[in-house]
Amino acid sequence: MNPDIPRMGYRPRTSYAFDLDVFTMAELRLRSSQEKVRTAHRYEFHTIVCVTQGSCTQVVDFRPVSCAPGSVLVLRPGQVHKFGASEDWDGWIILFRPEFVSPPSAAPGDVKLVVDTGRLPEQVVLTTEALQTVSGAIAQMRDDTQLDGPLDDLQALLRHQLHALLTRLGLLQAGLQPQQFVLSPSLQRFRRFRQLVDERFAQWHQVRAYANELGCTEKSLGRAVIASADMTAKGFIAARITLEAKRLLAHTDQPVAAIADLLGFDEPTNFSKFFKREADCTPAEFRRRQRTPS
C-alpha cells in the first residue's frame, strides 16, 4: 500500500552542512536508482532544474513540461514532480530549504535578502547567452560549497549567490514588465489569499472564511483574485482542492472515502460530485486513467 505521495525531504550527505545543495543530473543518476529518479515525489524543499544539454519532458502536477537547453524549472514545496523517462539530457539541480531565502532580519540600512519565489513562473526559458551566465553562476555556487571557512560565512555567501540567481531569473523571464514588480494592494491581498488557501484548503471551502481571515469583504477579495489569477476566488479554492485530490488519487492507494475526509468533505458522495464537476470524471475514473499505461 502507498498511503501517501512519496515525500522527499532535504537530506544532505552526512558530511555536508549547508542548507543548499548543487549537483548535476548525471550525478543524481549515480546517487539514486533509476526507479527512484523516475518516481513522482512531493518535495519539501525548493528545487531549480536548469537543463544545459539534451531535451526531456518533465511532469509537474500532471502537466508535461518540454525542456531543452535553457529551460529552467522552478519547483516549490508541495508540488509533485517527475523528471520523466528520458536520460538523454543533463543540467544543474539546486535544492534549498524554504527558510534559506528568508534569513534573519538585517540591521537598519542593510539589504534584506528575502526572495519572493512565488513571483517566478514555473518555467523560465533562457537565451544561449543567458544560459551561459546562469550556468556559470550555478557552477560558482557549486565550487563555493567546497571552500574551507567558517560555516556562517559560507552560508551567507551561498545565500547571496542564490538571491542573485533568483533575482536574475526574475529579470530574464520573458515578457516581464517593470510594473509587475510593484506590489499593489490588490496583488498583496491575492498573495496572502493564495498562501492561506495552500494552508487551509482542506478546512475552508468557502470564500467567506478567507475574507474574514484577511480582514476584507468577499467582493474586494474576489476583485483581487480575478485581477491576479483571472478566475473567481471560489474557483481558485476549488482548483486547489481538485489539484490535491488528483495528487492523492494518482500517487497514493488511499480509498476515495479517505481522500474525501482528508480534503474536508463530510460525505464521500459530496466529494465525488465535486470532483466530477471540476475534473469532468469521477475520482475512480481519474485514478484508472492515471494508472493505465499510455
Which domain range does residue 222 map to?
185-291
Interior/surface letters 140-167, b for 16+ CB within 10 angstroms, e for the rest: ebeeebeeeeeeeebbeebbebbbebbe
> What is the Cα–Cα distance from 99 to 240, expressed in whole angstroms?
24
Q: Is there a contact between 70 and 55 (Cβ–Cβ < 8 Å)? A: no
Asked if 14 and 158 sit in the same domain, the reply is: yes
CA atoms within 13 A on the CB side of 191: 12
265 shares a domain with 157: no
CATH code at position 191: 1.10.10.60
Same domain, residue pair 45 and 170: yes
Q: How many Å apart are CA 141 and CA 157, to the nearest integer?
A: 9
Residue 206 lies in a domain: yes
- Interatomic CA distance for residues 93 and 105, integer angstroms: 28
Alpha-carbon distance of 124 to 174, in angstroms, equals: 7
Task: Identify whether the C-beta of residue 20 lies closer than 8 Å to the C-beta of residue 96.
Answer: yes
Count of CB atoms situated within 10 Å of the CB of 50:
26
Amino acid at 190: F
Grid cell 499593489 is found at 184
Domain boundary among 179, 203, 225: 179
**Is residue 2 included in any domain, yes or no?**
no
From 179, 204, 227, give the residue that closes a domain. Answer: 179
- The residue out of 179, 199, 219 marking a domain boundary is 179
Q: Encode the chain (294 residues) as per-residue pLDDT tens digits.
A: 344 555 555 455 555 578 889 999 999 988 888 777 888 888 888 999 999 999 999 999 999 999 999 999 999 888 999 998 888 999 999 998 877 766 544 444 444 444 566 677 889 999 999 999 999 999 999 999 999 899 889 989 999 999 999 989 988 875 544 444 456 888 889 989 999 999 999 999 999 999 999 999 999 999 999 999 999 999 999 999 999 999 999 989 999 999 999 999 999 999 999 999 999 999 999 999 988 765
Q: How many domains does the chain have?
A: 2
Residues 137, 223: one domain? no
| Cell, residue 280 | 469532468
d(CA 23, CA 39): 19
Q: For residues 172 and 66, state if they share a domain.
A: yes
Pair 26, 125 in one domain? yes
Whether residues 173 and 191 fall in one domain: no
CATH of the domain at 35: 2.60.120.280
